[in-house]
Amino acid sequence: MPFTPAHAAVVLPLRRLGLPLSALVAGATVPDLPMFLPGRPGYDVTHSLWAVLTLDVLLASVAVWLWFALVRDAYADVTPWVRDRVPARARLTSRQWTLVPVAAALGALTHVVWDSATHEGRWIATHVPWLASEHAGIAGAQWAQWASGVLGLLVVATYTVRWIAREPVAPRASRVARPLLWFLVAPAVAVVAGAVALAGADDLHHGAVAAAVAGVQGLVLAAAVTGACWHGAVARAREARPAGVA
């Protein structure tokens, strides 16, 4: 598979349609959710065309809700360089929530089409001669998968850094002590999880896949837990303030 986060690259230009970017990205990535669950339950289902309009939309909507409820504000507060450039709090408006299903479905559709061109046996990979042929002993679809995955990650990383860098700087203090340590928890867990998976693999190829999957699992779970703990810490600090202090 193209590394799942790379799928977000395709939907970035669609933000110009007025659709919420969070829902576009969620829709573009949730079809791979089964990849990160034991036994990959429902992988073929989430990659089906009917799921694009149903199950994937539901999963993406839940992901968007969790993003804003747990993760977004926490990491806007503890991430170095980002804290001074993005609002401390962000939520979708009522109108934007009505567009979430549309954005999620469109994002999921881009995922299914992309995979169709980069997975052997899928429709596009079968009907485009170059993708269906072997090159240096490797199927064209596999080459496309590797190349598009790397390119997609570069696009996402470049877009994110440039977007944040363009925001005006307004220094503000973090709402928790030692914010850098809070920030480092998730990437540290991801690195450890990936390293453990790689060490237990039989060969480099399967090890790389296992490390990528384990890394994403660790990153997402740790980010969610960190976000929940951050909200708890902020709530306790608020309750501890003397009455009348903002």
240 and 203 both lie in a single domain: yes
* The token pair that represents 39 in the structure block: 């036994």
- DSSP letters spanning 78-106: HSTTTTTTS-S-----HHHHHHHHHHHHH
- C-alpha 219/C-alpha 113 separation (Å) is 26
User: What local confidence, expressed as pLDDT, does residue 206 receive?
Assistant: 87
Domain limits for position 194: 177-245
CA distances, 134 to each of 7, 138, 144, 193 (Å): 24, 5, 12, 34
Do residue 91 and residue 160 come from a single domain?
A: yes
Phi–psi pair at 138, nearest 5 degrees: -125, 135
pLDDT of residue 241: 73
186 and 159 assigned to the same domain: no
Pair (168, 181) in one structural domain: no
Among residues 132, 155, 173, the one where a domain terminates is 173
Report helix, strand or coil for 89. coil
Listed residue (174, 221, 180) closest to 70, CA to CA: 221
Cβ-contact 227, 71 below 8 angstroms: yes
Domain count, the chain: 2
Measured distance CA(143)–CA(158) in Å, rounded: 23
**What's phi and psi for 134, nearest 5 deg?**
-95, 145
Q: pLDDT digit string (tens) for 158-213?
A: 999 999 999 999 999 999 999 999 999 999 999 999 999 999 998 888 899 899 99
pLDDT digits (tens, 9 = 90+) for 98-114: 999 999 999 999 999 99
User: Of 149, 173, 197, which one is at a domain's C-terminal end?
Assistant: 173
Q: Do 19 and 106 have their domain in common?
A: yes
The pTM (predicted TM-score) of the whole model is: 0.94
Last residue of a domain, one of 173, 199, 224: 173
Residues 43 and 156 in one domain: yes
Q: Are residues 17 and 132 in the same domain?
A: yes
Distance CA 128, CA 138 (A): 15
Q: Which pLDDT tens digit goes with each residue over 31-54?
A: 999 999 999 999 999 999 999 999
Residue 23's identity, in one-letter code, is A
